[in-house]
Amino acid sequence: MKRLKKSAVILIVLCLIVASTACSTSGGSVSQDKNPPASSTGGSAEASGEKDWTKEEIHLSIIHEHTAETAVTVASSRMYLRVQDEFAAAHPNVKLDVTALGSSEVFERLTVLAASDELPDVVYLNNAVFDAVKEDNMLLDVTEYFDKNFYRDNLRTFSYNGAVYGVPIKYTTYNYMYYNSELWKEAGYDKFPSTWDEVLKANEFFKSKGIPTILFANKLSWFALASYFNAIMHEICGTEWVEAIGAKDGSASFTDDRLVEALEKFATLRPLWNPDFISADDQWAVAELAKGKAGAHISGSWVAGSIKAHDKENPGIADIIRVAPVPTFTGVAPTVDYAVPQGFGLNVKVAKDEMKKQAAIAFLQFLGTDRYSRYMAEVGEMGPVEVNVDMSGLKPMQQDMFAVMNSHKNVPQITYNLHASVARTIDASLASFLSGSITAKECAAEIQRAYEAQLP
């Protein structure tokens, strides 16, 4: 009894000590307005006029996924943080209260915050989050502050009912053929083949070397759509068909014959891939390509940076790897698919305080300038705004990538205006189909069912 009492007392004392030190420093919930009351002289100055908000101390809360660690390896994070820091330096009166989390955790937290109507001031958006909050008057309408034509996606990604609610912070293109030019030269191709038939013929050569012709890394199951199937759909089913699906007017259906044909053609590419494509991940695939252990890999605009990072262990590889457009079945030019995976919007509650609203809008506008895109261009990647790229400092593969992007039709991924549940079903059904557990018809039927369940 004595021993228990003693330990209990010690613990209680410890708790009290901790509580007294911690209590004073613990903060309130995220959305609490920490602004001082608007100054009487400032009043309600126009956004383009006096700019009194630059004199007030204003707090803006943000949650995003760009941690200092990811910034080391991921260019988009690094450049975003650079822009964010520049804003903070230009406006020292605005205190940015930043929380950075890992990429799946950030959306887990945003879900909970959105559900309880406690979003931060600056809201990190992806398609699912945007769909969840757009109808419920939780985001500030910022149409009047942005020029649609300035952006590659015309701000369509985060628009609803004609109003703009968010600005893109990333623009990613997903289907480039990164190939080992030396190996393909050995196989007899100075330029990467433009049809899948030719690639399949080259398969023999790579098999004899014991390496996969093309790596496929579908661990994050959206790769199947992004790297391959979106372009195949545009080729086999036609861009009008894809757009009809997006229009949701019932004129196009996933169970149409041409979609089934597209699926079956997709499956014919299986011999080219590594057998563990379902569980392989992109990071590993890029490493394999860099080590010379594969012929090629279809992936997105972030890969070039990774390959450059591998140059230390595999000298010269950054010059040997080149980029070509993906092949097609019929030999037509393929489409390059893009997406705006994330962006930023503003919590409608910032409008309660005019100074805060102006500061928040200024922040959003700052993010929406061409700064980010310019910084990305410096390292050979792309941003939401079209900028001039100085090709001279870039590796051949990066110059190739820009050439491919600029000379081919850029189309959004089919999922960009479909509900998240349909996107999930497409990814899962494609994976099941490619692993052989369902037929093409069944795959199409599954996707169609999910699609119909979401039709207005």
Residue type, 210: G
Between 173 and 358, CB nearer to another protein: 173
Strands 172-173 and 410-412: unpaired
Between 354 and 427, CB nearer to another protein: 427
Q: Residues in contact with another protein, total (CB under 8 A)?
A: 88
Helix axes 257-267, 420-434, angle to 10 degrees: 50
CB of 33 to another protein, least distance (A): 15
Residue of 405, 411, 412, 402 lying closest to 380 (CA atoms): 402
Between 265 and 293, CB nearer to another protein: 293
- Based on the shown chain and the rule CB under 8 A, indicate whether residue 173 belongs to the binding site for another protein: no
Binding segment toward another protein, per CB under 8 A, in 8-16, 84-92, 180-188, 375-383: 8-16
Burial of 170 (0-12, 13-18, 19+ CB in 10 A): buried
Between 28 and 49, CB nearer to another protein: 28
- Based on the shown chain and the rule CB under 8 A, indicate whether residue 67 belongs to the binding site for another protein: yes
- Based on the shown chain and the rule CB under 8 A, indicate whether residue 11 belongs to the binding site for another protein: yes
**257 near 444, Cβ under 8 Å?**
no
CB of 331 to another protein, least distance (A): 31
Strands 214-215 and 296-299: parallel
Using only C-alpha atoms, what is the Rg of the chain? 25
Spatial separation of the C-alpha atoms in residues 48 and 59, rounded to whole Å: 21
Between 4 and 89, CB nearer to another protein: 4
Spatial separation of the C-alpha atoms in residues 40 and 138, rounded to whole Å: 28
Spatial separation of the C-alpha atoms in residues 266 and 193, rounded to whole Å: 17
Spatial separation of the C-alpha atoms in residues 271 and 71, rounded to whole Å: 37
Residue type, 4: L
- Based on the shown chain and the rule CB under 8 A, indicate whether residue 20 belongs to the binding site for another protein: no
Q: Which of 41, 137, 149, 388 binds another protein (CB under 8 A)?
A: 137
Q: Which of 39, 44, 111, 407 binds another protein (CB under 8 A)?
A: 111
Q: Which of 33, 57, 85, 105 binds another protein (CB under 8 A)?
A: 105
Nearest 10 degrees: Cα torsion 51, 54, 60, 63: 90
Q: Which of 4, 20, 48, 161 binds another protein (CB under 8 A)?
A: 4
Strand ranges, E, within 88-171: 94-100, 122-125, 159-160, 163-164, 166-168
DSSP string, 44-73: S--TTTT-GGGTS-EEEEEEES--HHHHHH
- Based on the shown chain and the rule CB under 8 A, indicate whether residue 19 belongs to the binding site for another protein: yes
**What would the x/- binding string for another protein be over residues 235 to 254, using CB under 8 A?**
--------------------
- Based on the shown chain and the rule CB under 8 A, indicate whether residue 101 belongs to the binding site for another protein: yes
Between 201 and 209, CB nearer to another protein: 209
**Helix intervals (H) in 223-370:** 223, 230-236, 239-247, 257-267, 282-290, 303-309, 317-320, 354-367
Between 341 and 345, CB nearer to another protein: 341
Residues 273-292 that bind another protein (CB under 8 A): 274-280, 282-284, 287, 291
CB of 233 to another protein, least distance (A): 19
Between 234 and 308, CB nearer to another protein: 308
Between 220 and 455, CB nearer to another protein: 220
Residues 317-356 that bind another protein (CB under 8 A): 341
Q: Which of 35, 56, 62, 77 binds another protein (CB under 8 A)?
A: 77
Between 53 and 416, CB nearer to another protein: 416
Measure CA of the first residue to CA of the last residue in the chain; give whole Å.
Answer: 68
- Based on the shown chain and the rule CB under 8 A, indicate whether residue 9 belongs to the binding site for another protein: no
- Based on the shown chain and the rule CB under 8 A, indicate whether residue 132 belongs to the binding site for another protein: yes
Q: Which of 79, 123, 125, 133 binds another protein (CB under 8 A)?
A: 133
- Based on the shown chain and the rule CB under 8 A, indicate whether residue 230 belongs to the binding site for another protein: no
Binding segment toward another protein, per CB under 8 A, in 104-112, 198-206, 359-367, 393-401: 104-112
Between 191 and 291, CB nearer to another protein: 291
Q: Which two structure tokens, joined as six digits, stand for 95?
A: 């205190």
CB of 275 to another protein, least distance (A): 5
Taking every pair of Cα atoms in the chain, the longest distance, rounded to a whole number of angstroms, is 86
Residues 409-448 that bind another protein (CB under 8 A): 419-421, 424, 428-429, 431-432, 434-438
User: From residue 61, how far is each of 70, 126, 144, 356 by CA, in Å?
Assistant: 20, 18, 23, 11
